[in-house]
Amino acid sequence: MAETRQHKVHQKKLQELVKIMPYYVGEYVDDKLDTRSSSTLLNYVLDYKMFFEWLISEGITEAATIKEIPLSVLEKLKLDDAKNFFKYLQRRDIQVSKNETKKPEKISVNRKISALRSLFHYLTTQTENDEGEPYFYRNVMLKIEVNKVKETLGARASKISTKIFQNNDDASFLWFVRNQYEKNLPDGSRKRIFFKRDKERDLAILSLFLGSGIRVNELTNLRLKDLDFELNIISVIRKGGKKDTIPVVPEAMRDIRDYLDIRSERYKATNEDSDYVFISKGSTSPSPLANRSVESLVKKYTKAYKSNKSMSPHKLRHTYATNLMEETGDIHLLMRQLGHSSTSTAALYSNPDQEKAQEAARQLGLRRNQLNKD
């Protein structure tokens, strides 16, 4: 299984986090490492940390530290206490900006329920003490319901459509970055200097997102050997460490070629096959771009294009997917291009019922206007 830079970082963070966890959490992680990604396990253990900290703050355990929390606390945890933890999660305020807070998304709370269910299931069915019995039998988490997010496929598809580039806006956006963005920056400013240095790189990144639909992690892990300009394809590492090869819009490959023409000189980079494609200029040597850096630059350019609408790499992926579906109508091609295993996920980009409803509404509006004229 191929490992990305992000997975290696998460694996290291996971190892450090496990050190402050009770021994049984360490056993759980060790048992699941071969079947679940380090990224998933890291998120789970972060959820356990929040849960254990809550147990201590509420006086449900006498342990002074997370590491000291005994199995008996989980075994004897009252249903009301378990429910109160999830009420706490649902009702707490999350800071989104200096003057703004929001309540957690249901999907976030559901993930924490799933994480704790997984741990309790392991402790009550997949462990063994000296007597050959599970660590304990009573699983209070089985009594906690997952509050599924009730949303139709049409509603989800409609929500996506309001947050992506429509019609030819993706092409107009790339034109804006190529020809107009610099003009909006003050002469001699640091922003203008850095843009001129990074213009070809940033354009290549934006163009590749809109010309292939790859994920941000797939982009930041691209190596020079993964680019095939003859066939206009790239090799990527999908979720789960699976290797895949996908076609790219030729214009996007040309933008990458333009970037590579200046990459060595401008970033003092080598051209070894194993070198990362997208890099930043460090004080001593170049370093591969991090996911967060790519997310920031996408947000910066999309907000400059539409001042009230900054976007993420995932929204550029959605834009590509919608355009591909409109162009081909082939859901299986879409699944392969995006690395999806489920047609229900891919179907979000094709919503004929919504399109029919919109057309019907337009026709009814024309009819109303005609009657008003008469």
Euclidean distance between CA atoms 39 and 22, whole angstroms: 20
**Exposure letters 314-351 (e unless 16+ CB within 10 A, then b):** bbbbbbbbbbbbeeeeeeeebbebbbbeeeeebbbbbb
Residue 122 bears catalytic tag:
no
Considering 7, 201, 266, 317, which one is annotated as catalytic? 317
Residue 340 bears catalytic tag:
yes
Residue 276 bears catalytic tag:
no
Euclidean distance between CA atoms 32 and 343, whole angstroms: 28
Residue 215 bears catalytic tag:
yes
| DSSP calls for 160-210 | HHTTS--TTHHHHHHHHHHHTGGGGSPTT-HHHHHHHHHHHHHHHHHHHHH
Three-state SS letters, 84-124: HHHHHHHHCCEEEECCEEECCCHHHHHHHHHHHHHHHHHHH
Euclidean distance between CA atoms 250 and 230, whole angstroms: 10
Contact status, residue 205 vs residue 297, Cβ threshold 8 Å: yes
Considering 106, 156, 197, 314, which one is annotated as catalytic? 314
Euclidean distance between CA atoms 293 and 220, whole angstroms: 10
Considering 32, 199, 215, 263, which one is annotated as catalytic? 215
Specify the length of the chain in residues.
Answer: 374
Contact status, residue 27 vs residue 127, Cβ threshold 8 Å: yes
Half-sphere exposure for 247 (CA within 13 Å, toward CB): 8
Residue 318 bears catalytic tag:
no
Considering 10, 201, 263, 340, which one is annotated as catalytic? 340
Considering 83, 239, 254, 336, which one is annotated as catalytic? 239
Contact status, residue 323 vs residue 249, Cβ threshold 8 Å: no
Contact status, residue 89 vs residue 104, Cβ threshold 8 Å: yes
Cβ atoms < 10 Å from Cβ of 227: 18
Residue 317 bears catalytic tag:
yes
Considering 181, 267, 305, 349, which one is annotated as catalytic? 349
| Residues taking part in catalysis | 215, 239, 314, 317, 340, 349
